[in-house]
């Protein structure tokens, strides 16, 4: 297939410290034998020229701005060869609701890593995130760890403060190369998921490494059966698992099993996505 991917991203795969969903997928599509053109944020202005020159089978947009570009393209009169797909990001409320309805109307297909958005906005296919991490045996160095961004909506300062009050040694893992993350996770007794949605990459990385997870409650992740100790007070949840190590071990094993049943490596997920895209191309040809 000939695939254009347009996102807010600004760096190619090999320059990224953190390998996110749409850093990985275009790279893996290419490894799987497809022709891929990646339209970065700084290149949005010549997207239409890229489309005309490349003649894609599939156009995939990611994000609330890139999706506007492809939606308005889809609105233009005339017969289009490509199939237009919008992949929703994993945050359950990143888009204004009206914009997602607009995207639903003006793309041929909608994919998503989140069950919640897929159902709410009548998407076509669920494409879960993956993880290339595997369980490691490391000597514990801290009680708990959090992996990811520290932007305000994640309430990380509050987590840090509550852990200090409970004398919990918390490790914040952010802005380090992806290959260093597994060893850091392995040195924690417990992992922390302070987000309330059902598809963040950190969910999959924790589960792939068979780590027990304390997650904020209420949480969309609980609705899809993600194994974690759910609690409105994360510090108290961490203390509980530290004081009940056998329950923590059992929870970690359940998490690993969940990962094997519901996800897989990023390359396995890329193969699944390509099968879905091939289905869309066939449907477009038949239309």
Using an 8 Å Cβ cutoff, are 143 and 242 in contact?
yes
Same domain, 14 and 57: yes
Same domain, 163 and 76: no
Same domain, 115 and 217: no
Same domain, 115 and 78: yes
Same domain, 123 and 160: no
Would residue 107 be called left, alpha or beta, if left means φ above 0 and alpha means ψ between -120 and 50 degrees?
A: beta
- Cα Rg of the chain (Å, integer): 20
> For residue 25, is it within any domain?
yes
What is the number of other CB atoms lying within 10 angstroms of the CB of residue 20? 16
Q: What is the pLDDT of residue 20?
A: 87
Q: What is the CATH number of the domain that holds 236?
A: 3.40.50.2000
Same domain, 165 and 249: yes
> For residue 136, is it within any domain?
no
Same domain, 109 and 7: yes
Using an 8 Å Cβ cutoff, are 185 and 173 in contact?
yes
- The tally of domains found in the chain comes to 2
> For residue 75, is it within any domain?
yes
Same domain, 114 and 200: no
What is the number of other CB atoms lying within 10 angstroms of the CB of residue 236? 14
Mean pLDDT, consecutive 10-residue stretches, the chain (287 aa), reads 95 84 95 96 95 96 94 86 90 76 92 91 93 94 93 86 94 90 96 94 96 96 96 96 96 98 96 97 78
Same domain, 161 and 238: yes
Q: What is the pLDDT of residue 180?
A: 92
> For residue 137, is it within any domain?
no
Give the residue numbers spanning the domain of 281.
Answer: 2-130+265-286
> For residue 179, is it within any domain?
yes
Q: Report the distance separating Cα 146 and Cα 130, nearest Å.
A: 18
Same domain, 57 and 104: yes
Same domain, 51 and 156: no
The number of C-alpha atoms within 13 Å of 164 and in the hemisphere containing its C-beta is 7
What pTM was estimated for this model as a whole?
0.93
**In the β-sheet with 170-173, what is the strand arrangement from edge to edge?**
170-173, 142-147, 188-193, 213-216, 229-231
Q: What is the pLDDT of residue 94?
A: 74
Same domain, 276 and 241: no
């Amino acid at each position: 297939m000939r695939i254009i991917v347009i996102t807010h991203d600004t760096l190619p795969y090999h320059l990224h410290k953190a390998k996110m969903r749409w850093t990985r997928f275009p790279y893996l599509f290419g490894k799987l034998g497809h022709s891929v053109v990646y339209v970065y944020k700084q290149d949005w202005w010549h997207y239409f020229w890229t489309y005309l020159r490349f003649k894609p089978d599939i156009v995939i947009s990611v994000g609330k701005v890139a999706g506007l570009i492809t939606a308005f393209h889809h609105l233009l009169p005339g017969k289009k060869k490509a199939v237009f797909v919008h992949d929703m990001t994993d945050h359950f409320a990143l888009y204004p609701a009206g914009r997602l309805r607009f995207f639903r109307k003006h793309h041929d297909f909608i994919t998503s890593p989140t069950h919640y958005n897929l159902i709410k906005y009548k998407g076509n296919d669920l494409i879960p995130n993956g993880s290339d991490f595997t369980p490691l045996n490391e000597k514990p160095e801290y009680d708990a760890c959090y992996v990811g961004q520290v932007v305000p909506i994640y309430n990380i300062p509050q987590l840090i403060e509550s852990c200090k009050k409970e004398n919990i040694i918390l490790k914040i893992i952010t802005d380090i190369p992806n290959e260093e993350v597994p060893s850091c996770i392995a040195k924690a007794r417990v992992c922390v998921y302070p987000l309330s949605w059902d598809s963040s990459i950190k969910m999959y990385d924790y589960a792939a490494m068979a780590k027990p997870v304390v997650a904020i409650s209420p949480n969309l992740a609980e609705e899809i059966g993600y194994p974690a100790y759910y609690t409105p007070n994360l510090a108290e949840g961490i203390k509980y698992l530290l004081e009940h190590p056998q329950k923590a071990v059992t929870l970690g094993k359940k998490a690993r099993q969940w990962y094997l049943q519901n996800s897989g490596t990023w390359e396995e997920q890329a193969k699944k996505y390509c099968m879905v895209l091939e289905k869309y191309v066939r449907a477009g040809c038949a239309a």
